[in-house]
Amino acid sequence: MHIRRHLRNRGNRSLRRCGTLLAAAGLLLTALPSCSPGNSPASSRTTMAVTGDAAPAGPYAPTPAALAPFYGQKLQWRGCPEAGFECATFRAPLDYDKPSAGDIRLAVARKKATGPGKRLGSLLVNPGGPGGSAVDYLQSYAALGYPAQVRARYDMVAVDPRGVARSEPVECLTGPRMDAYTQTDSTPDDRSEADRLVAAFKEFAEGCGRRSAGVLRHVSTVETARDMDVLRAALGDPTLTYVGASYGTFLGATYAELFPRRVGRLVLDGAMDPALPSRRLSLDQTAGFETAFRSFTEDCVRRADCPLGTRTDRATATLKAFFRQLDETPLPTGSADGRRLGEALATTGVIAAMYDEASWPRLRGALTAAMRKKDGTGLLGFSDSYYERDQRGQYGNLMFANAAVNCLDLPAAFASPAEVEESLPAFEKASPVFGRALAWASLNCAYWPVRATGVPHRIEAKGAAPIVVVGTTRDPATPYVWAKSLAAQLSSARLLTYDGDGHTAYGRGNDCVDRAINRYLLNGTPPTAGMRC
């Protein structure tokens, strides 16, 4: 399970996924090829800020004239298969350093402002991942779930980022091979098991390199942020209004860094810290899931149906013992394909439920069935949902895109199994129940066929209009300390704190949070300094 930056906004009831303990070294936000597609020569471009021109010059891009055909596009809207939405595609350079070398086509959808009131423009939404489909998010949640007064004044818009879903998706493994991958033991006990885990990471990476060679070098967050500016121009908006959740906060902050004078009203909910290296991100996320698990156990032990006992100080040991049993003897699940619930899938299932406290009752039931009735069906369901596996055994593109973006954006957390083993004490201290698995999950990018083009760095976005950063105090996937750090980096940020559980805050039922963000989106008034809900 790669819990690095698989950041998904589960709190908004959108399974944005955010990998297996293998695939998700970016779980949360989350977070996993050899036919080598080659390495990008512009390894320093993601560390530098540029001016806010519509077609930026400088180290990020070629001359404005070379990008003019892209910025001059007009969207040709048509009906979507989903009633009430309009769909279109637009072109962006596959390689912004060589815009004449080829295009990539990106899918966009919108739901027009419903009124009443004067239309304020377009509101672009992104649910995170990386790898989450923003179009699916718009059509399944945002266009109906965002507050009515916001939907009345804005056209709700979403674009699937390059390499994701409808936008030339990254592909890596077939369904059966993904089944094998997600079931690989993610807590190796000896050299043989560690070798099998490494072999699984290599097979995944090689599959991505073989099946997606053309796009794999060009799915970075910087490139996606530049695509958003092309879309902004095509929509006819002078500035970008945007709500990004989880990994979407990194995407939004990157946009502000690139185009500070194009920033309109930006909400970054469940924030990431762009200044942290991969290993620190993984370690912090591990601690975040431990915080969420403790909240779950404190709630669980007060209930009659809690399978972890009646004492919080024993709940961790109980769950660890259960995971050890599964490592030895996986449970039947009743699945038509005969899959059994082993430690890897069970751990993914429990972690998936940590994104949203509304999942806790169902998690208690799934754990009870597995621990007392030897039925792994419920936990397998959580895991399958996390991985976007359907009943036919097919997987969505989420896990593939998640790894492709994460491994391109930052250098690998670990270069070898030996480095993981050295770090195990720190990870197990951060989370006695999840630490070992999440440390090993962070090894996945070590075998990626494309060199990372980004490095960790502070984002200040000097000259940008006020930006709202939202942090939840017990967020499992994007720890609250990240929100505080990002708000301190951004020159114009206001931090809005939600004292609560779950991943992200906006649209999850807290009136204080929703009122503050609605006021900002509708009137341009950011929350007062130090506001807490």
Positions marked active-site: 246, 475, 503
| Burial class for 305, CB neighbours closer than 10 Å (0-12, 13-18, 19+) | exposed
Kindly provide the b/e burial profile for residues 172-199, where b requires at least 16 CB atoms within 10 angstroms of the residue's own CB.
bbeeeebbebbbbbbbbeeeebbeebbe
**Site of tokens 């369904």:** 175
Q: How far is CA 256 from CA 37, 124, 241, 267, 496, in A?
A: 30, 14, 11, 11, 18
The DSSP-derived string for 451-488 is -----------TTPPPEEEEEEEE-SSS-HHHHHHHHH
Phi, psi (rounded to 5 degrees) for 318: -65, -45
Check residue 160 and report its DSSP letter: P
Q: N- to C-terminal Cα distance for the chain?
A: 32
Helix (H, G, I), strand (E, B) or coil at 320: helix
Residue pair 508/481 in contact by the 8 Å Cβ criterion = no
Element (H, E) at 124: strand 121-126
- The two three-digit tokens of residue 128, written as one number: 């995170």
Helix (H, G, I), strand (E, B) or coil at 235: helix
Helix (H, G, I), strand (E, B) or coil at 156: strand
Residue pair 172/188 in contact by the 8 Å Cβ criterion = no
- Could you tell me which residues come within 8 angstroms of residue 364 by beta carbon, excluding any fewer than 6 positions away? 300, 303, 305, 306, 307
Q: How far is CA 162 from CA 43, 132, 165, 482, in A?
A: 19, 11, 9, 26
